[in-house]
Structure 1
Amino acid sequence: MFLVAIPLSLGIAVASGAPIAAGLIAAVVGGIVAGSIGGSPLQVSGPAAGLTVLVAGLVDTYGWRATCTITMLAGLLQLALGASRVARTALAVSPAVVYGMLAGVGVVLMLAQVHVVLGGTPQQSALDNLRELPGQLAHPHTHPALLGGLTVLVLLIWARLPRGGWLRLVPGPLPAIALATAVAWSLGWNARRVELPDTLLSGWHAPALPDGSPHGIVGAVVSVALVAAVESLLCSVAIDRRRPAGVARADLDRDLLGQGAGNAVSGFLGGLPIAGVIVRSSANLEAGARTRVSTIMHGVWVLVLALACGPLIEQVPLSALAALLVVLGFRLIDTARIRDLRHHREATAYFTTLGGVVVLGLGEGVLLGVGIMAIMALRRLTRLSVRAEHLVPAPDDGPVPPRVHVVVAGTLTFLGVPKLTRQLQDVPPGAHVDLDLDVDFMDHAAFDAVHQWRLAHERHGGRVDIDEVHEAWYERAVTGDMSAPRKTPPPPARWWAPWANRRRRSEAELDAPEVSPAAVLLAGVQEYHGRTARLVRPIMAELAMEQKPQHLFITCVDSRIVPNIITASGPGDLFINRNVGALVPRHGSRTPDDSVAATVEYATNVLDIRTITICGHSNCGAMAALLAGGTEVEHLTGLSRWLKHGNHSLARFLAEEPPPDTDEPPLTRLCKINVMQQLDNLLTYPWLRERVESGEIELVGLYLDLQSARVEILDRSAGTFALVPDAPPRRSTRA
């Protein structure tokens, strides 16, 4: 870890306009102090590229010694925040703003350090650097530019080396800086070098008080404290998600205490502000770290190197360090994050923050991004959907008043009143209106608009029925009961209920004409589009190009069986084959039928499914037909031919005596025996039997009792079914 920290700490110090030793001091303190106290054992703290722009501005405004005081005060503020146990509130900052801030810092860093790579001097602002860049490109200094290009080339080559090779054990910045230093020294090239003091703390002076307005100084302290805290906490959360088994979870409040102590000590000793660094922390994790000792020892080794190898460090060309920072700044612009944020429609906040950091400054850019996210959150919270459906009566219904179904969904506030009133104004006078208020909040302006329209509509001979799906906001406002509503559980989900059960009123109550089955089906699709499609769309998008089901589920075509309900599964979980009676034709059957065999072959050989389930059910019509000898369906030639595959189940039923202690009806016994027989039929396929006997594929038998809606599982060794036990109640995890 110290091999990564040395070049990065030197480069960040140069980019911040701070003394070179300040970067090494921050690396030592970040490793030893923050590593010892912090709550994330595998996180590595030190000078961070995300703070470079902020520190450079402070150095330019207040000077270096005053910046050390600001760093120390920021550390004390972090200690106070950690002691107040408010660390998790920092995570309320949207990742879009954080990633936009880091990308903006990356752009500012690249624009400044390109000048150093070319042998020039960076300007005071990113826009000035951009303005001066064409002239710098036109007249580069040869030696610094070649050394910078060599550094970038080595970094790019190192990143493409195969993983697992011995060269990848060495972090890329080290060979890049070492090679550039060796070339500059051996060829005697004219390039500015690192300048170190005689000892790490030589010339140390106590931090000085900043000279400026109290408002500006407080803002500087808060900015350093919050930016470093947010970056550290996000890093801690990211590393915690990847922690190996046996490593304790991160304590964010303690981690903030560790960062605060580190910044207080670093500022007092003349070091840069520190924060958790994702690059070093990830490298620490990948190198096999298991305890905080790795973090502490990396700080110790940085201290040893700084004290013992000063003359070697002073040979490092500044253009090589600047080139390292250019590459680091480019990596801060994470394009993968942009794609993720675009999917969640938060890219606007990302680019706004990025542009604000580049044009206005770090603090102003972050505040601008936070403001954009607040506006977007407010817009989402007040999003309202209003749709109206004009129902057309049947031609032979005679003269009936027009019917209109209006659905209002979302948060109904004064902001949504114009949209709502536009729809309500289009309702014909005298119409019968079914108004569904599927809202989670209604303010007075919205209630008044709905109520006044209702009174006016009914005055002109119309009728309005209002249904409230969630809390009775409208009813409570009408009755004057405006006490805080009791927290009642949400209404049960209705998607699984039959169409007939989901009608809120009977046909007679609605005075509605009979609708065709096709219209009912289309109404169900409309309900799916309005309620469910948006919820399953992310899942379906992931499954759109490839399916990875875990189980092959063979069951009957009976409409009362819904496999996804009785298994609590969703899209992509079950590979389902449905046929009359849940039958599996035996291998080499005289009545050929390859539909089930084709399904089994594809499931096991292509989808690599390891579990095959046969699910029967009570009151199965196919089994009843077998018991009746097929006389009831003999006029259905296709069905009669298919039911011949159930003759083995019938023969087994006739050959087995019913258990003496059972009172199961014959049909129930046959339905269960059929499950056992179909599992045996699967084993008639030689290739499948081999995989079952080797343990590669497991066979499962289930039986659904329609009356009780309970599922039983087959014990194949005993030949009996037993109820699947209920899941144990979850224990509360609240402290």
Structure 2
Amino acid sequence: MSTVWRERLRADVPASLVVVLVALPLSLGIAVASGAPVLAGLISAVVGGVVAGALGGSAVQVSGPAAGLTLIVAQTVATFGWRGACAITMAAGLLQLLLGAARVARAALAVSPAIMHGMLAGVGVVIVLSQLHVLLGDAPQASALANLRALPGELLHNHTPAVFIGVLTLAVLWGWQMLPRVSTYVPAPLAAVVIGTAVAAFTGWELRRVDIPDDLLAFDAGPLWPDATAPTILAAVGAVALVASVESLLCAVAVDRMHDGPRVNLDRELAGQGAANVVAGALGGLPVAGVIVRSTTNVRAGARSRLSAVLHGVWILALVLAAAPVIELIPLPALAALLVYTGVKMVNLTHAQQVHQHREMPVYVLTLVAVVVLGLFEGVLVGMVCALLLSVWRLTHATVRAYHDEHGWHVAIEGSLTFLAVPKLTRALAEVPAGTPVAVELNADFMDHAAVTALHDWRTGHERGGGTVEVHELHHHWYAEAITGQRPPARKVHPTAWLLPRMHRAVPSGARERLTRGARLFHRHGARRVGPLLAELARTGQQPTQLFITCADSRIVPSLITATGPGDLFTVRNVGNLVPRHGDDHDGSVHAAVDFALQVLQVRTITVCGHSGCGALAALLRPDPHPTPMPHLRRWLHHAQPSLHRTDPHPTSPGDHLTRLCQQNVIQQLDHLMTYPPVAERVHDGRLDLVGMYFDIAASQIHLLDPHHHTFTPVSSPTPH
């Protein structure tokens, strides 16, 4: 056996066993909630593992009956009967195969995440409302609203055994996470169902339990083409295929971020899901889709390849054949409690917060409500219409504001300027008095011909009336390109252009004027972007993760080259990014910063960042017989003398000598840091990392120090997708 296969077996076999412990109870519960035979959930778990696992495009995704399909399966069963639902599942699988062959899988990712999260949250609410009745020892009603209306009456009835088992199962599910060591080896769903089953068996209570046919081979639930109109059947097939495909592909993309193995092939994954649904429908199983809970469990358990998903299906089949009597001991209230727990988790507050941050909450809420009130297919349609309307609104929405302050008149324009925004634009421009200077701050992501014409006509008329107009564009030059017919020449980009617009005014000559101008720009454009973050930092205090020691050179902007923001770096800057040895610092400033960073801020990293062309170090290589009287600088630079001594004195060129000195200086300052007892203690204990960084200014290239070989390696840019 090859080494690769030995490593796969060593990782994938234990992972597959862990996934089984999660998949088995969920498969049973989803089958019950869907109104399908219990065995159908187990069939889909086996088929999803073996067929989708072997043929799909993801190395670690695990497929099976999904909670997100529960509502649509229940509706399909109610409309066409169970055998008709199996035929719908087969047809949906064939449609998925065709879509996979047509290589259109990525088109499914165009569905707004707000719709998918809203749909799953709505399904979660429906599952909770229906399974609460089962938990209370009764049968669910025909709709979510009916379940909601009947719930108070159910709560007043006395269903002590069922309620006790259900509540016990829920308590175990929520409390199991408080035992991290145990939950690592025994998943919460398995523990909850086992405990609930054990208590039910010990008490001997009469409860509804899982029912598996005695002769599994005689299970007669194959597909039977339903007696219904073609549009009704096609709508059901399309709904199953759409929801199963989008859920599987989104799950595959999410799981792909969690491992470092082969990347997912979405078209193959879609075809693999289609093949699994064809087989599942033919054998009498539920529709199959990628399941995030099982896939996440698989990755966290150390799975390396698709072998884990396939083996998990094999283990479930073996359990069904060998331990069916044990599975039949499981009480339905325990499975109902498991589904209530799953349904609550489907209303994911993290996803809702992300949707809110992207200002798509109306899509999420309307989809959720429509799924609960109208049904899954109708809810998705409502969500898609809402998302489309929101996109159109954003495309046509622009903010135009004319205002006057102590600096004169301004017109601030943001958003997409189309012909629909022209009335709003002209109304705002009309507020500017004739003959006055005005600055137009244009932050448009798009301008059509009508908007450009309206702005330019107003500008021409205003200037003819004795006024002046300056148009300052952020990002793309829509206006400048439209009126000149060509792209403006390349210009120097301000390093904070992402935060503040580059204004094309004459820069004031005085230092105070430059600072005042910068402050005004910050107040006008930057404060509203970073204001909430700064307010939060003012309330909570700073909690930086590292001490960053770098040169005072004005060309080095730490937050820019490290892509960090306020509150991330505790920064020390001095001439030459020097760290005096412990006890050899007369002013003590660096020592004070190190003490504060370690003792108060509890940083985990100290970075020393040097750079190319450092003037302070260049002075060491060019001793001037008549130096400018700078005694303090000469005294400070003696901390860099050890760096000069460790640098090769026979460089190939003067420029190469300075480069080597700048890099060796970083290594030397890291050595100086190790003379500080608190630093050495934390490094040896593994509580602190020392990092060396070198920034090549001309190439805009960051190099990191390899601590083992004492060489600097450039950081590669991410490969564009």
TM range (shorter): 0.7 to 0.9
Most deviating of 604-613 and 410-419: 604-613
Paired with 1:731 and 1:710, the residues of 2 have a C-alpha distance of 15
The change in CA–CA distance for 1:363 and 1:530 in structure 2 (over 3 A counts) is farther
Q: Please give the TM-score of this superposition, normalised by the length of structure 1.
A: 0.78
Question: Is the aligned partner of 1:242 residue 2:258?
Answer: yes
The change in CA–CA distance for 1:392 and 1:182 in structure 2 (over 3 A counts) is closer
Which residue of 204, 216, 219 corresponds with 1:200?
Answer: 216
Residues 319-355 of structure 1: per-residue CA shift (max 9 Å, x gap): 2222221122122122232333333333333222221
Paired with 2:542 and 2:654, the residues of 1 have a C-alpha distance of 44
Which residue of 635, 640, 662 corresponds with 1:645?
Answer: 635
- For the 8 Å contact 2:608–2:670, the answer to whether it is kept is no
Residue 49 (structure 1) shift: 1.1
Which residue of 510, 515, 523 corresponds with 1:521?
Answer: 515
Q: Secondary structure at the match of 1:348?
A: helix
Paired with 2:522 and 2:562, the residues of 1 have a C-alpha distance of 19
The change in CA–CA distance for 1:436 and 1:65 in structure 2 (over 3 A counts) is same
The change in CA–CA distance for 1:712 and 1:619 in structure 2 (over 3 A counts) is farther
- For the 8 Å contact 1:126–1:358, the answer to whether it is kept is yes
Aligned to 2:238: 222
Residue 200 (structure 1) shift: 2.7
Residue 733 (structure 1) shift: 6.5
Paired with 2:205 and 2:663, the residues of 1 have a C-alpha distance of 89
Aligned to 1:618: 615
Q: Secondary structure at the match of 2:141?
A: coil
Which residue of 172, 178, 184 corresponds with 2:188?
Answer: 172
Aligned to 2:571: 576
Question: Is the aligned partner of 1:13 residue 2:31?
Answer: yes
- For the 8 Å contact 1:193–1:314, the answer to whether it is kept is yes
Paired with 2:610 and 2:402, the residues of 1 have a C-alpha distance of 45
Given residue 230 of structure 2, which amino acid in structure 1 is its aligned partner? P
Residue 130 (structure 1) shift: 0.4
The change in CA–CA distance for 1:649 and 1:170 in structure 2 (over 3 A counts) is closer
Q: Which runs of 5+ in 1 are unaligned?
A: 394-402, 508-513, 634-639, 716-721
Given residue 252 of structure 2, which amino acid in structure 1 is its aligned partner? S
Given residue 421 of structure 1, which amino acid in structure 2 is its aligned partner? T
Question: Is the aligned partner of 1:447 residue 2:480?
Answer: no
Paired with 1:15 and 1:661, the residues of 2 have a C-alpha distance of 76
Paired with 2:358 and 2:625, the residues of 1 have a C-alpha distance of 59
Residue 456 (structure 1) shift: 3.6
Paired with 2:397 and 2:605, the residues of 1 have a C-alpha distance of 43
Q: Which has the larger radius of gyration?
A: 1
Most deviating of 543-552 and 42-51: 543-552
Residue 283 (structure 1) shift: 2.4
Residue 230 (structure 1) shift: 1.4
Paired with 2:200 and 2:628, the residues of 1 have a C-alpha distance of 98
Aligned to 1:399: none
Paired with 2:326 and 2:693, the residues of 1 have a C-alpha distance of 73
The change in CA–CA distance for 1:272 and 1:542 in structure 2 (over 3 A counts) is farther
Q: Secondary structure at the match of 1:553?
A: strand
Paired with 1:704 and 1:311, the residues of 2 have a C-alpha distance of 70
Question: Is the aligned partner of 1:292 residue 2:292?
Answer: no
Aligned to 1:416: 421
Paired with 2:666 and 2:299, the residues of 1 have a C-alpha distance of 51
The change in CA–CA distance for 1:674 and 1:442 in structure 2 (over 3 A counts) is closer
The change in CA–CA distance for 1:43 and 1:540 in structure 2 (over 3 A counts) is farther
Q: Secondary structure at the match of 2:549?
A: strand
The change in CA–CA distance for 1:496 and 1:310 in structure 2 (over 3 A counts) is closer
Matching of residues 486-635 of structure 1 within 5 Å: 492-495=492-495, 504=504, 506=506, 517-528=511-522, 546-548=542-544, 550=546, 552-556=548-552, 560-564=554-558, 570-571=564-565, 575-579=570-574, 592-603=586-597, 606-613=602-609, 617-618=614-615
- For the 8 Å contact 1:440–1:471, the answer to whether it is kept is yes
Q: Secondary structure at the match of 1:319?
A: helix
Aligned to 1:29: 47
Which residue of 154, 157, 162 corresponds with 1:144?
Answer: 162
Paired with 1:100 and 1:601, the residues of 2 have a C-alpha distance of 49
The change in CA–CA distance for 1:133 and 1:686 in structure 2 (over 3 A counts) is closer
Paired with 1:652 and 1:67, the residues of 2 have a C-alpha distance of 79
Aligned to 2:351: 337
Question: Is the aligned partner of 1:283 residue 2:279?
Answer: no
Q: Secondary structure at the match of 1:427?
A: coil
Paired with 1:284 and 1:613, the residues of 2 have a C-alpha distance of 40
Residue 172 (structure 1) shift: 3.2
Q: Secondary structure at the match of 2:299?
A: helix
Paired with 1:313 and 1:650, the residues of 2 have a C-alpha distance of 74
Residue 51 (structure 1) shift: 0.8
Q: Which runs of 5+ in 2 are unaligned?
A: 1-18, 706-710
Which residue of 359, 377, 394 corresponds with 2:373?
Answer: 359
Aligned to 2:315: 301
- For the 8 Å contact 2:400–2:428, the answer to whether it is kept is yes
The change in CA–CA distance for 1:529 and 1:58 in structure 2 (over 3 A counts) is farther
Residues 434-454 of structure 1: per-residue CA shift (max 9 Å, x gap): 445443422233234223423
Question: Is the aligned partner of 1:457 residue 2:462?
Answer: yes
Residue 175 (structure 1) shift: 4.0
- Between the aligned residues of both structures, percent identity stands at 47
- For the 8 Å contact 2:394–2:416, the answer to whether it is kept is no
Paired with 2:175 and 2:194, the residues of 1 have a C-alpha distance of 15
The change in CA–CA distance for 1:628 and 1:502 in structure 2 (over 3 A counts) is farther
- For the 8 Å contact 1:194–1:315, the answer to whether it is kept is yes
Aligned to 2:94: 76
Paired with 1:378 and 1:185, the residues of 2 have a C-alpha distance of 59
- For the 8 Å contact 2:605–2:691, the answer to whether it is kept is no
The change in CA–CA distance for 1:538 and 1:97 in structure 2 (over 3 A counts) is farther
Residues 259-286 of structure 1: per-residue CA shift (max 9 Å, x gap): 1011111112211111111222222333
Q: Secondary structure at the match of 2:180?
A: coil
Given residue 437 of structure 2, which amino acid in structure 1 is its aligned partner? H
Given residue 608 of structure 2, which amino acid in structure 1 is its aligned partner? I
The change in CA–CA distance for 1:570 and 1:296 in structure 2 (over 3 A counts) is closer
Question: Is the aligned partner of 1:47 residue 2:61?
Answer: no
Residue 404 (structure 1) shift: 3.7
Residue 555 (structure 1) shift: 3.2
RMSD over aligned Cα atoms: 4.8
Paired with 1:56 and 1:711, the residues of 2 have a C-alpha distance of 57
Residue 125 (structure 1) shift: 0.4
Which residue of 263, 266, 274 corresponds with 2:280?
Answer: 266
The change in CA–CA distance for 1:195 and 1:731 in structure 2 (over 3 A counts) is closer
Residue 672 (structure 1) shift: 8.8
Aligned to 1:153: 171
Q: Please give the TM-score of this superposition, normalised by the length of structure 2.
A: 0.80
Most deviating of 591-600 and 73-82: 591-600
Residue 124 (structure 1) shift: 0.6
Residue 502 (structure 1) shift: 6.6
Residues 641-667 of structure 1: per-residue CA shift (max 9 Å, x gap): x558348589999x9xxx8999989xx
Paired with 1:661 and 1:203, the residues of 2 have a C-alpha distance of 83
Aligned to 1:210: 226
Residues 12-46 of structure 1: per-residue CA shift (max 9 Å, x gap): 11111112221122122112221221112322211
Residue 585 (structure 1) shift: 6.7
Paired with 1:75 and 1:673, the residues of 2 have a C-alpha distance of 60
Residue 622 (structure 1) shift: 11
- For the 8 Å contact 1:585–1:593, the answer to whether it is kept is no
